[in-house]
Chain A
């Protein structure tokens, strides 16, 4: 019997569960390796070569090269691990996080100062599907 996952209908959200973790294991371990300065240097010098050292899928490697964080999460990345890719680029958390939304970093920060993204209309996927 399939495991019930009542969180799959939360819009704009990839819940990092044990299935995502299985798909993303090497991707996340690669990101974790960037905690070491020596690895950050090698990554920056030749991203493709660095990624080829890990048994990641081609899609995962391309998503990292594209810095497409939504795609990275879809392919099993976890934000706390893959944020280390952004940290290697010198990005702040707000820059990394906002890149996954409709806003740029300044617009994202402004939205938060104004109380954040509201919960109304953002609970269920069907609410997003019904948008004009």
Chain B
């Protein structure tokens, strides 16, 4: 038996959503529509529990300072502590890793041409823990292991969408050659449109976001060729986080000569704090 990729999940990782979950604000008028919107994803994952999530996200100046800026940083650790981002650590469980799978992925993906940075000790910030909370709410411990892949989208140039999609294909090959009976989901997180800086802050581009969701499903290869400047201009300076979704997309069968995925969930909501929130689940063929 080998590991298999059952689905890819895509979602924003807005810190305010994490704060709303931690403080139990989900029923308030501001938050109610968003939590109603992610309800189907929570019910879906109850029926489709992964053994491991390969979680693509970015650090926001918490685990990594400016001292080093790894473009692709793969977590190799047994555990990852939630970071204190300046407002105190989130009251969420410690994240349990899968170091054997991490080592296997490193030894498969690097020879395939993707020069990952391997990280044995790091904290994980809201980029990783908010998606877990969006899917699993407030468990005493997370119901799956996590292999984190932190991508630099803070200091430009960030990697291109094309590079991210191709990395996803290499990650797929790595996971599917791992000799353990594991259900693995790939999550791509960040976005959607938002800008946290400058006089243009507060930008939201719903048309761009809806088009992006549609192309994620039907045109990943074409989407991978969108240049980063288009994200910066159209989706805001922080909207470029969306390139990370392409890693999760590239891991699905249709990007690797197989059948098309099945859309089981799609939601979009504006706003959460400064950000447009999207969520999409594609079951692998």
Contact = CB atoms under 8 A, between A and B. Distances in A.
B157 interface: yes
Interface stretch (B2-10, B42-50, B139-147, B231-239): B231-239
B27 interface: no
Nearest to B156: A17
Nearest to B275: A112
Contacts of A98: 201-202
B207 interface: yes
Contacts, number: 144
B60 A108 contact: no
A122 B274 contact: no
Interface in A2-31: 6-7, 10-18, 21, 25, 28-29
A70 interface: yes
Interface in A83-132: 83-84, 87-88, 93-94, 97-98, 100-103, 108, 111-113, 115-119, 122-123
Nearest to A111: B202
Residue picked from B84, B196, B197, B207, most chain A C-beta under 10 Å: B197
B237 A13 contact: yes
A15 B196 contact: no
Interface in B160-208: 193, 195-208
Contacts of B86: 34-35, 83-84, 87-88
A14 B61 contact: no
A95 to B, nearest CB: 11
B93 to A, nearest CB: 22
A32 interface: yes
B61 A81 contact: yes
Contacts of B21: none
Contacts of A18: 155-157
A111 B234 CA distance: 18
Nearest to A86: B86
A70 B238 CA distance: 16
A123 B155 contact: no
B250 to A, nearest CB: 25
Contact of A21 (B16, B155, B270): B155
B1 interface: no
A28 B154 CA distance: 12
Contacts of B211: none
A100 B229 contact: no
A97 B201 contact: yes
B237 A112 contact: no
A120 to B, nearest CB: 9
A54 interface: no
Contacts of A79: 196-197, 238
A20 to B, nearest CB: 8
A29 to B, nearest CB: 6
A112 B273 contact: yes
Contacts of B87: 87
19 contacts: A7-B233, A10-B233, A15-B232, A16-B156, A78-B154, A78-B155, A80-B60, A80-B61, A81-B66, A93-B273, A98-B202, A100-B199, A101-B201, A102-B199, A112-B271, A113-B30, A116-B205, A117-B200, A118-B204
Interface of A: 6-7, 10-18, 21, 25, 28-29, 32, 34-35, 69-70, 73, 78-81, 83-84, 87-88, 93-94, 97-98, 100-103, 108, 111-113, 115-119, 122-123
Given A11-B199, A116-B202, A116-B203, 19 more contacts: A10-B237, A12-B198, A13-B198, A13-B232, A16-B237, A17-B155, A29-B67, A73-B198, A84-B86, A93-B16, A97-B201, A97-B202, A100-B199, A108-B201, A112-B273, A115-B270, A116-B276, A117-B204, A119-B207
Interface of B: 15-16, 30, 60-62, 65-67, 69, 84-87, 154-157, 193, 195-208, 227, 229, 232-234, 237-238, 270-271, 273-274, 276
